[in-house]
Amino acid sequence: MATLPAHATVQDLQRYVRQMTQERGFSSNSVLQECLLLTEEVGELSKAVRKQEQLRVDEHSKVGTIAEELADILIVLTAIANHYEVDLERAFRDKEAVNDQRTWRPAA
């Protein structure tokens, strides 16, 4: 059974998601299926934010918490990264190195 260390690194998270998806029978999902699921999870996050901000939400909608929906997004995102063997920590660091070279202006 997959276990996640208490003070997990990004690599630990990626290993955990890889094991967990196999154990739960999701390892055969295609990248297309995972990308569509990611889109659904982002929509669910939007509903959770709407609810938190006291904006109207369909009374028949099942709305999770913001924390739950963010966790779902992280799981699916990590599964996509694993499919392509992307080291998320390395990708993050590389992208931030590029972003550090950009000029950022506050929104008008």
DSSP string covering 45-70: HHHHHHHHTT----TTS----HHHHH
Give the pLDDT band (50/70/90) at residue 87: very high
Is 78's pLDDT higher than 80?
Answer: yes
Instruction: Note whether 41 and 73 are within 8 A (CB).
Output: yes
Q: Mean of the pLDDT values across residues 55-68?
A: 90
Q: Tell me how many helices (H) and strands (E) the chain has.
A: 4, 0
pLDDT score, position 11: 96
Give the pLDDT band (50/70/90) at residue 62: confident
From CA 56, how far away is CA 33, in angstroms rounded? 29
- What is the identity of the amino acid at 63? V
Q: Mean of the pLDDT values across residues 23-28?
A: 92
